[in-house]
Structure 1
Amino acid sequence: MDFHLVPRSEDRNYTGFLTKTIVYTSTLIIFLASFGLTVSSIVVPKWISYHNEQVWYSYGLHRRCSSVTDSCQSFPLRDDCSGRGRYFCSMWRSVAFLMSFAVVLEGMSIVAYLIILSGGKRLRESGWKVLSLLIILSVAVQASSMSIVAYLYDHEERFFVGWKLDESWIYCIVSWCVGLFCAACLIVAGRVLPSEGGYELIPDHS
């Protein structure tokens, strides 16, 4: 009598065939885009900018650029952190630190993704808990950074009429929104999707 493998009955009834592996793989691809946006928000020096017909200025986390000098320079400098600028300097450096920390958390999340996908069924069944926590932490850090910059934009005297929150700030928003979406998908999949089934031997009577 010959035997052949067939999916267990509970697997045959799950017509959607939406396994946790598919969820992990698809959200990883989306999360990589979020990671790229986070890095771009740090590299591109356009968190807050000013433009008119003659000149433009822009503030990045680590550089300040101007059409007057036609170049970018490190920011904040020591002169920027003296006197009344001390508070702004401290807050701006905090944002730079938080965004760098967010990159670290996202990097750890990517490593966790790869470990889970290369591991066995047990990792795929329980790994979403640690992974979603790492992503949520990175989301919280980026949202805090975004909020601090928005607060400085509204309350700092150096940003008068004509200044605006620019593309790097938008990159940050999109990044943490995408990350939050990925975390939500992982949590829902971990709680709702059935366990990955195996196969069972049944006799072949032919």
Structure 2
Amino acid sequence: MTRKAVYSAALVAVVAATAMTIASIVTPNWISYSDTGKSGDTVYDRFGLHRRCRSTAPGGCMHFPDEQQCEGDGSWFCNTWRTTGFLMSLAVVMDLVTVVGFLVIMAGGKAKRETGWRILCAMLGITAILEFGAMAIVGYVFDNDDLFHVPGYALDVSWYLCTSSAALAVLSAVGLAISAFVLPPEEGYIFLRDSTDV
């Protein structure tokens, strides 16, 4: 039987995972390059899901991938990268829906807590699949696209945040499922003493 304390701990983990997912989308650090020259100037190139920030770009950051990169031979990369952005956006929606689900189930009493873990585990599983999918796509692009064959490019903070968020979702789902089968029923029946025993 899953107890309120278990739900509370899992909710904290899910909120942390949601924050990591949002940070990974907002921060343009999925793949990056950085090098400090002899003059002391740092040259950098950082790829986010929707922005690319370069030391040589006016204003620092630009929309990415742009329409020119999505034409001809670049259409594969463009479609793949945009698919990653879509998966991560969908993962955030699932995260937020899961947080609301936690709050509803926790406020709904013992009966909802006894059965609600199944729904939450399914939602956390879907979120993890979306994020692991996004992580795998970026990893594949990093390994196979000519854009990143220049030595010095590496998977960066946003990629690791996505991976950690997905892992946290899986651990939360597993914890809920285990507690549902292992823990004894919450607030079981209390037998009153018979008045004749007094």
Instruction: Report the TM-score, using the length of structure 2 for normalisation.
Output: 0.91
Do the aligned residues in 1 keep the contact of 2:2 with 2:117 (CA within 8 Å)?
no
Q: Distance in 2 between matches of 1:111 and 1:100?
A: 17
Q: Distance in 2 between matches of 1:91 and 1:189?
A: 39
Shift of 1:47: 0.2
For the pair 1:55 / 2:43, whether they are aligned, the reply is yes
Residue 31 of structure 1 aligns with an amino acid whose one-letter code is: V
3-state DSSP of counterpart to 1:199: coil
Between stretches 122-131 and 187-196, larger displacement belongs to: 187-196
The residue aligned with 1:199 is: 190
The residue aligned with 1:42 is: 25
Shift of 1:46: 0.4
Shift of 1:201: 2.7
Instruction: Report the TM-score, using the length of structure 1 for normalisation.
Output: 0.87
Residue 165 of structure 2 aligns with an amino acid whose one-letter code is: S
- The alignment covers a number of residue pairs equal to 189
Do the aligned residues in 1 keep the contact of 2:21 with 2:92 (CA within 8 Å)?
yes
The residue aligned with 2:155 is: 165
Q: Residue deviations 1:71-130, cap 9 Å, x none?
A: 111111101101111100000000000000001111111011001100021101000000
For the pair 1:89 / 2:78, whether they are aligned, the reply is yes
The residue aligned with 1:9 is: none
Q: Residue deviations 1:151-184, cap 9 Å, x none?
A: 0000000102110000000000111111111000
| Runs of 4+ in structure 1 over 3 Å off | 203-206
Aligned to 2:172, which of 182, 189, 203?
Answer: 182
The residue aligned with 1:109 is: 98
3-state DSSP of counterpart to 1:97: helix
Gap regions ≥5 residues in structure 2:
37-41
Aligned to 2:117, which of 128, 142, 150?
Answer: 128
3-state DSSP of counterpart to 2:154: strand
Judged with a 3 Å threshold, the aligned counterparts in structure 2 of structure 1 residues 198 and 43 are, in CA distance, closer, same or farther, namely farther
Among all aligned residue pairs of Structure 1 and Structure 2, give the percentage whose two residues are the same amino acid. Answer: 38
Q: CA RMSD of the aligned region, Å?
A: 1.5
Q: Distance in 1 between matches of 2:124 and 2:2?
A: 21
Residue 18 of structure 2 aligns with an amino acid whose one-letter code is: F
Gap regions ≥5 residues in structure 1:
1-17
Shift of 1:194: 2.0
